[in-house]
Structure 1
């Protein structure tokens, strides 16, 4: 029964190819390399029929805004017709591991691979499909033949690129032809782990080895680290993946144990391979200082002060100081967020972009010692002041910012980068207070509320001011008329003039004539007895009819005004004009 490898994720492919010497094209940064994506990272053909032609294709996807140029060539490897196989060396001409037979029967697979359009242009934000044709060599019945494609990016404008392309540093995509039972039972084992000591963190490398000619499925791979007393220090369960033939990989794990003591630890590892549980254990020694006595130390030097929350509110000048107790410093290297490769440090440089920038750095001494990994410095820059809004709650009046009830206000500070650290307020020029919850204002009067926020980079907002008034007392209104008695009921209209007097702590908004009512009519402001009166206005002059019902006791006019202040407080007052039952002297 044949066991064929299934699909694996790109991340795992990249890891396995990296550790076995075959790299995805997007991970190679040769010169001014620009990343592209490929439709596949290997070609595998099972149940191969000798002499049969197999057609496939490889698609280049370019997500960049510039054209990218590639050269493609066939690569070679060897395999046996029958019998066992053994791994040999690699060469520049044949990128892939040469699988050599114990017999003399070999096949140069490169001669059976045809790639059209060997020099291709991948257009900006476009793609190119490259046909690949593979003819299965005859005379083979069992085993696997390996070959592949060499792919190298080049710049047609560079003088050295106008001639033949040097493929020594090219990237490879493997091609495997499986004849008969090409996937054999793997010979799998664990190999001793070791520790890489780095400035940014130490790494335990757990070793796995596949000594067979076939792809091996490693299932439920897991590890556990204990001290010599049997206490677990840390553990992990990376999961399942495939290993290529003759692969040796070291799975990297961040060291989570103590870093300040020299000690031995037991590493327990296990996995299920082809249904069989395989276990191993061995001892590693953690000696952090032993490693650090050989490598140079690099210290970043920054020009600006950082806030308590780790943010800068101005441009940051970055320099480095490298020290080695044993050897002369050769060079210091660094690279910034978004850059595709590192730079050689020559002089301090400035980070002026707002946001979070990561600076990676390390140094090497003249004998070649350098930390295995990059140290990193995170620069968080926020040069923009925060902004604060005020929200007022209360019964508002006729005018903006006037209220006739208690007021509460809350403040909302915002900052797009570092975030708001604190918000403050003060009333009528008093002391600044830290804002934490709604603030109550209850006394009548005028309030000037100043408010501002500070972000985590110590940027302080220019304070804003909101002026509000509280007036909970209704205004007083007094009325009088120039004629309060119309003594002669001569059925003529007499002009009446009204005088008003108000009293309010903060002034009134308006005084309106609300109604004129006769005691002898159910109607208000009936045109039959009122003339030239503008109701709901500030009208203070109108005419009333000097008349009464001869059967009655006399007529009484009730004149009503309403006053309202700026906060919406209202009150009313009345004044009267009489037409008496018994006539008196003439109206005047």
Structure 2
């Protein structure tokens, strides 16, 4: 196409059939499989060829929507995958072939789901409680655990026998690929009662925490008597167990295991 202009007093015909060129400037993260954790600002810089008639307008559209004239920065803020197309048109109507870029946004933290029982006995082999993370946008990059503020490889690695009776704080943290994170705090309760104290003594014997079978059997008999005793007499029976453990602690009973038994008996008395 041509346009007549004057250079001084001389009319000159300008021929221009070349479309402008547009550059998109991204303030934030762009590109496939790259999620932004915040709003993304786009601006467009259009230039016509040196002998062209000049840029008339720049247009853009998002996800095959309507073409819109860009009058300033374009702000993308909605979560999801956005394909942005843009083009410029000069004053002769020469239209640039659309260019495109991907802007993926994820400003939403993962969701942590918990299920199963948060209560378990100290003699259980493992806990049945589970915690998982889901993220419908960038996906879960990692999920981590802390038990009583100590790093934990997984919930499956919790060993009830290694825990004291009572409440324990489990912190679950999920992080997605955009960097969003969510934390959830769960109270786990490790329990013991006289029935399970008998099981604990049996476990202790299999682990050689008693010097001989007779010591373990003596404690089992006292636990059995306490189970059969009425509420009033049970307190005295428990005291006899405590006395026996204190007497044999570090001698006929492993010191750490004896402390565990004493802590458990205190828990039983209080509950």
TM-score range, shorter chain: 0.5 to 0.7
Q: Is the contact made by 2:29 and 2:103 (CA closer than 8 Å) also made in structure 1?
A: no
Distance 1:307 1:358, change over 3 A: closer
Equivalent in 128, 134, 141 of residue 414 of structure 1:
134
Q: CA RMSD in A?
A: 3.7
2-structure distance, mates of 1:508, 1:381: 54
**Counterpart-to-counterpart distance in 2, 1:361 and 1:325:** 18
- In 1, the alpha carbon distance for the partners of 2:32 and 2:187 equals 31
Query: Where does the alignment leave 5 or more consecutive residues of structure 2 unmatched?
Result: 1-17, 201-221, 227-231, 243-260
Contact 2:32 2:104 (C-alpha < 8 Å) held by counterparts: no
Is 1:401 the counterpart of 2:119 in the alignment?
Answer: yes
Q: Take 1:499 and 1:410, find their aligned partners in 2: how far apart are those partners?
A: 37
Q: Considering only CA atoms, is the larger Rg found in Structure 1 or Structure 2?
A: 1
User: Among 498, 511, 521, which residue is 2:233 paired with?
Assistant: 498
For the Cα contact (< 8 Å) 2:48–2:90, is it kept in 1? yes
Deviation at 1:423, TM superposition (A): 1.2
Post-superposition offset of 1:453: 0.8
Q: Which residue of 2 aligns with 1:380?
A: 104
The match for 1:331 is 57
**Structure 1's 346 and 508: CA in aligned 2 closer, same or farther, altered over 3 A?**
same
Structure 1 residue 367: deviation in Å? 4.8
Q: How far apart, in 2, do the equivalents of 1:477 and 1:337 lie? A: 72
User: 2: CA distance between counterparts of 1:306 and 1:375?
Assistant: 14
For normalisation by structure 1, the TM-score amounts to 0.29
Q: CA deviation at 1:460?
A: 0.7
Distance 2:187 2:24 in 1: 46
For residue 500 of structure 1, give the secondary structure of its aligned residue in structure 2: helix
| Residue pairs, 1:7-406, within 5 angstroms | 294-305=18-29, 309-324=33-48, 326=50, 327=52, 328-337=54-63, 339=65, 341-372=66-97, 374-391=98-115, 401-403=119-121, 404-406=123-125
Contact 1:386/1:461 (<8 A) preserved: yes
Q: TM-score, normalised by structure 2?
A: 0.57
Residue 441 of structure 1, CA deviation: 2.3
TM-aligned CA deviation for residue 307 of structure 1: 9.4
- Bigger RCO (CA 8 Å, 6+ sep): 2
Q: Aligned partners of 1:313, 1:426: CA distance in 2, in Å?
A: 25
Question: Post-superposition shift, 1:300?
Answer: 2.1
- In structure 2, relative to structure 1, the CA distance for the partners of 1:310 and 1:506 (3 Å cut) is same
Which secondary structure state, in structure 1, belongs to the residue aligned with residue 136 of structure 2? coil
Distance 1:508 1:338, change over 3 A: farther
What runs of 5+ residues in structure 1 fail to find an aligned partner? 1-293, 481-496, 512-564, 567-588
Q: CA deviation at 1:334?
A: 0.8
Task: Decide whether aligned partners of structure 1 residues 333 and 462 sit closer, same or farther in structure 2, where only a CA change above 3 A counts.
Answer: same
Name the counterpart of 1:165: none
Kept after mapping to 1: 8 A contact 2:32/2:102: no
**In 2, distance between residues paired with 1:410 and 1:342?**
49
Identify the structure with the greater strand proportion: 1
| Corresponding residue of 2:159 | 441
Question: How far apart, in 1, do the equivalents of 2:111 and 2:69 lie?
Answer: 41
Task: State the 1:478 CA deviation.
Answer: 8.5
| C-alpha displacement of 1:508 | 6.8
In structure 2, relative to structure 1, the CA distance for the partners of 1:465 and 1:301 (3 Å cut) is farther
Q: Secondary structure at the match of 2:107?
A: coil
